[in-house]
Chains A and B, each alone.
Chain A
Amino acid sequence: MELENFKQLWNKDTGQESPEISLEKQKEIHSPLQMLKVNMETEFWLMIVTLPLLLTNFPFASADSNIKIISVFVTILTIVIIVYFYSRFLKLYKLLQKNSINTNYDLFNLKTQLLISKEIYIAYYVSYIPLGFLLSLIRINFHFEMEYNLAIFGSSLLITLLLIAFIIKYWIYYMYGRYIDDVVRLVDELNEIEVSPRPQKKKTWFERSQKFFMNKMGIKGNILNTVIWFVSMYIFIILFLTLVFLIVIIAGAKLNLLDIGSLQRALNKLN
């Protein structure tokens, strides 16, 4: 069979077995941009619900009213930052909805939008670094005199940095990055930029659970998957860091590198 035969076959195929026309949006996600929007929306509400609880809960355990007030301010500031970044994303999403001039323009437009959204997303996580720093300062009452207070301050800051590094490397990739990669490859292919073959990777647990839930519940399944992984990550990170701290404390005490009495006093002061 030659390609010219394809033309004949193509013309013979009338495509008349097509389904009924519907102008309604399907209840499933079929475009990378829509997937990104649904994921961002889910994450936005998760942040709005969990962050105030997380940020105010620890300082509120303190009897010091100043700590409580500062914590509330930090929480409000954080929420303002989240709302600002999310509104920027929505504005961009609406602005670039229109198509179409040609395929290259539309794909490039989509690629740009996805990459800018990703940068906005990273920026809003990076903005937590000074807030994490501020919270750490609140926790030690802005006093640096005790050696272990300084260690606790450093540890809190390190946790924030690790958490953000983790979010940027893994969370962003599974929530957004893999969809962005696909579009980038298409634009490159269209513009004769060398595209390396896609490495064959085994499906991760995140992808498997996403497939499972979307299979059962469509868009709601995707939202449920995000919520489950978001909460699981919180719990995992807290448990992992607790374990690391315990190992450091036990090993430090055994090797006489830590003075348990001083550490106890520093922790008591915090509480």
Chain B
Amino acid sequence: MSSPEKEFLEKIEKHKGVIFKISKMYMDNKDDQNDLYQEIIYQAWKSYGDFQKRSDFSTWLYRTALNTAIVFLRSEKKRSFIQNQNVDGLGVRQEPYNDTDDVNMKLMYEAIHQLSPIDKALIFFFLEGFSGKEIAVQLGITEVNTRVKLKRAKEKLKEIITKQGTGSH
């Protein structure tokens, strides 16, 4: 294994959880999630030569991941949607949490799936704790535009949650 490849794989290993969470935000079944995950890794590896440490690796990787996810074409393969119903497939427990967390996590991803690709990106940055200014830099739009868009995306998400009737959880 060449040195850049080894270096890249080491770096990716630290962030693979977030990449997979992006895949889960954008795709609603396990097969497509896996495909998107692999595509993000491939695209990141392909443009790794251009990265040149101008920015933080994680920031660059998230941007590449989101750019890939936003235009990702679903495969035309017949998909099994069984996994989508399986809440256990949503995450490995690192700290103890209950069944309500499982159900809520499933509902969270289901709600996010209903957003547009751009709104998903905004919600991702929000959940990852990026500031309005940082999101604006990542998306390449003005800070004012970012705040307006993020507010709208959150409102949409709230509306979806209300419709889902998740207020009771």
Contacts and interface: CB of A to CB of B under 8 A. Distances in A.
A213 to B, nearest CB: 8
Contacts of B72: 30-31
B10 to A, nearest CB: 11
B17 A26 contact: no
Interface string B136-165: 011111000100000000100110010000
B63 A102 contact: yes
B108 A10 contact: yes
Contacts of B56: none
Nearest to B167: A1
Q: Looking at A15, A17, A35, A211, which has the most chain B CB atoms within 10 Å of its CB? A: A15
Given A10-B108, A12-B97, A18-B19, A1 B169 contact: yes
A103 B66 contact: yes
A12 B166 contact: no
Interface string A82-124: 0000000000000000111111111100100000000000000
A99 B17 contact: no
A215 B77 CA distance: 4
B161 A1 contact: yes
Interface string A57-94: 00000000000000000000000000000000000000
Interface string B90-123: 1111110100010011011000000011100100
Contacts, number: 163
A255 interface: no
Contacts of A19: 34, 37-38
A147 interface: no
Nearest to B116: A189
A240 to B, nearest CB: 30
B127 A10 contact: yes
B20 A15 contact: yes
B81 to A, nearest CB: 15
Given A23-B42, A210-B76, A99 B161 contact: no
A268 interface: no
Given A23-B41, A106-B67, A186-B71, A16 B91 contact: yes
A31 B104 CA distance: 32
Interface in A7-29: 7, 9-10, 12-19, 21-26, 28-29
Interface in A207-222: 210-211, 214-215, 221
Contacts of B129: 7
A13 B121 CA distance: 17
A205 interface: no
19 contacts: A3-B158, A5-B104, A12-B105, A13-B105, A14-B17, A16-B94, A17-B20, A23-B41, A29-B73, A31-B72, A35-B73, A98-B50, A99-B47, A99-B50, A103-B63, A103-B140, A104-B141, A186-B70, A190-B141
Interface of B: 5, 8-9, 12-13, 16-21, 23-24, 34-39, 41-42, 45, 47, 50, 60, 63-64, 66-68, 70-73, 75-78, 89-95, 97, 101, 104-105, 107-108, 116-118, 121, 126-129, 137-141, 145, 154, 157-158, 161, 166-167, 169
